[in-house]
């Protein structure tokens, strides 16, 4: 049976994950258009995990209007999502699926306000990629991707989920479809709540967190996150979170995390959507989260020292 493929994927921004998706779309014959906010930062080349150099020669001009067989991909930070969705609101057909892929939580709620009727798909990945300069991206860690439908999608249009799954499977493989994607997002939230602030604060690669001196703090963060997740209706025991965090640390040992890179380049980090989200939910549920609070405050104070 032939698998459905989109007419095109329109990828917003020029970040590392969006650029990696564009390069893999090209390698798999999927028409794509990378749409950076600043055209001077358009990614033009991918250095693959095995060191091969791929020129993004197939980048199509940005489409004015997207149809039912196109996919809008929003691989931007949570705080940039509402604005990006607003810009595309009038340029989508009612059947165009919109795929969100980002670290942290709160993203789909922000997009939902702008696109109340659109079918939204949520994904999270542990692939590692960095922009080594404005025009080049390096694939630094081979991870996994999980994908599912937003819990409040009305009626998905026929074949939409298959279209999104087939496409993402070619752009960020391996992809697992998750019926309860919110659980997958919480699992990834715990990974980011540990790796991102610790690597940024201590100025280290992910692999440094394998050392014994981080063990206690990692365990504390996972216990706090599990307690908040539980209060939010997600049954994710701390031992499961810890095991998953250690696995991702091992697989991405040679990477600098995205928050490390943001601090290094004096960019706004995703701390609000990661540890900040845990703090927000903890406050609502009356749970104490001192380690997450410390990490949040520390990264915020690092951001405030940018000149
Ligand atoms: O944000 C990141 O850097 C990534 O999500 C991860 C998986 C922590 C790997 O560095």
Q: Which two tokens stand for residue 224?
A: 């706090």
Q: In which band, very low, low, confident or very high, does the pLDDT at 5 lie, cut at 50, 70 and 90?
A: confident
Q: Out of 3.30.930.10, 3.40.50.720, 3.10.129.10, 2.30.30.140, which CATH number does the structure's domain 8-179 have?
A: 3.40.50.720
| CA of residue 93 to ligand 1 center, whole Å | 33
The catalytically annotated residue of 77, 138, 188, 251 is: 188
pLDDT of residue 156: 66
Instruction: Indicate if the pLDDT at residue 1 is higher than 60.
Output: no
What are the residues whose beta carbons fall under 8 Å from the beta carbon of 214, sequence distance 6 or more? 198, 208
Q: At what angle do helices 215-231 and 181-202 cross, to 10 degrees?
A: 150
Q: Which two tokens stand for residue 21?
A: 């998706």
What are the residues whose beta carbons fall under 8 Å from the beta carbon of 248, sequence distance 6 or more? 126, 143, 191, 195, 206
Cα gap 130→139, rounded to integer Å: 7
Q: At what angle do helices 238-251 and 181-202 cross, to 10 degrees?
A: 60
129 in contact with ligand 1, CB cutoff 6 A: no
Torsion of CA 283, 289, 292, 295, to 10 degrees: 100
Domain residue limits, the chain: 8-179, 182-304
First to last CA, the chain: 57
195 in contact with ligand 1, CB cutoff 6 A: yes
Rounded to the nearest integer, the mean pLDDT of the chain is: 95
- Average pLDDT estimate for 15-22: 96
- Average pLDDT estimate for 30-58: 95
- Average pLDDT estimate for 195-214: 98
- Average pLDDT estimate for 32-60: 95
| CA of residue 199 to ligand 1 center, whole Å | 10
- Average pLDDT estimate for 161-179: 96
14 in contact with ligand 1, CB cutoff 6 A: no
Atom 3 in ligand 1: residue holding the nearest Cα: 257
Instruction: Indicate if the pLDDT at residue 155 is higher than 80.
Output: no
Cα gap 244→238, rounded to integer Å: 10
| CA of residue 68 to ligand 1 center, whole Å | 32
pLDDT of residue 183: 95
Task: Answer yes or no: are the C-beta atoms of 75 and 12 closer than 8 Å.
Answer: yes
188 is catalytic: yes
Residue that wins the pLDDT comparison between 257 and 2: 257
Determine the atom of ligand 1 nearest the C-alpha atom of 195: 8
**DSSP code of 271?**
T
CATH code, 182-304: 1.10.1040.10
The secondary structure element, H or E, covering residue 133 is: strand 128-133
**DSSP code of 29?**
T
| CA of residue 258 to ligand 1 center, whole Å | 6
Instruction: Indicate if the pLDDT at residue 3 is higher than 70.
Output: no
- Average pLDDT estimate for 57-84: 95
pLDDT tens sequence across 238-289: 999 999 999 999 988 988 999 999 999 999 999 999 999 999 999 999 999 9
Cα gap 9→98, rounded to integer Å: 10
Q: Which two tokens stand for residue 139?
A: 């694939």
Q: Which two tokens stand for residue 271?
A: 């701390």
**DSSP code of 191?**
H
Task: Answer yes or no: are the C-beta atoms of 18 and 33 closer than 8 Å.
Answer: no
Q: Which two tokens stand for residue 302?
A: 């690092």
pLDDT of residue 37: 86
Q: Which two tokens stand for residue 203?
A: 């100025």
Instruction: Indicate if the pLDDT at residue 2 is higher than 80.
Output: no
**DSSP code of 106?**
S
Task: Give the bridge partners for 175, in sequence order.
Answer: 145
DSSP letter for each residue of 65-89: SB-TTEEEEE-S-HHHHHHHHHHHG
Closest CA to 54 of 138, 167, 142: 138
pLDDT tens sequence across 100-134: 999 999 999 999 999 999 999 999 998 989 999 99
């Amino acid at each position: 049976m032939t698998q459905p493929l989109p007419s095109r994927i329109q990828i917003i921004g020029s970040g590392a994950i969006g650029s990696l998706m564009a390069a893999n779309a090209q390698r798999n014959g999927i028409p794509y258009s990378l749409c950076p906010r600043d055209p001077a930062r358009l990614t033009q080349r991918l250095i693959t995990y095995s060191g091969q150099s791929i020129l993004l020669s197939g980048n199509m001009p940005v489409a004015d209007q997207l149809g039912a067989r196109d996919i809008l991909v929003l691989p931007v930070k949570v705080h940039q999502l509402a604005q990006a969705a607003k810009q595309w609101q009038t340029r989508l057909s009612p059947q165009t699926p919109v795929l969100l892929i980002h670290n942290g939580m709160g993203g789909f709620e922000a997009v939902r306000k702008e696109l109340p009727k659109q079918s939204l798909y949520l994904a999270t990945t542990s692939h590692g990629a960095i922009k080594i300069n404005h025009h080049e991206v390096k694939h630094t860690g081979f991870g996994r991707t999980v994908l599912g439908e937003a819990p409040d999608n009305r009626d998905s249009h026929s074949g939409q989920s298959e279209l999104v799954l087939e496409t993402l499977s070619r752009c960020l493989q391996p992809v697992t479809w998750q019926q309860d994607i919110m659980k997958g997002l919480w699992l990834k939230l715990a990974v980011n709540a540990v790796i991102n602030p610790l690597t940024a604060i201590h100025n280290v690669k992910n692999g440094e967190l394998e050392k014994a001196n981080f063990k206690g703090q990692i365990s504390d963060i996972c216990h706090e996150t599990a307690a908040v997740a539980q209060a939010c209706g997600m049954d994710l025991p701390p031992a499961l979170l810890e095991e998953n965090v250690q696995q991702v640390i091992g697989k991405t040992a040679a990477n600098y995390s995205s928050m490390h890179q943001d601090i290094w380049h004096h960019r706004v980090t995703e701390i609000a959507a990661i540890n900040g989200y845990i703090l927000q939910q903890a406050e609502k549920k009356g749970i104490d989260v001192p380690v997450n609070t410390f990490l949040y405050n520390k990264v915020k104070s690092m951001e405030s020292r940018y000149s």
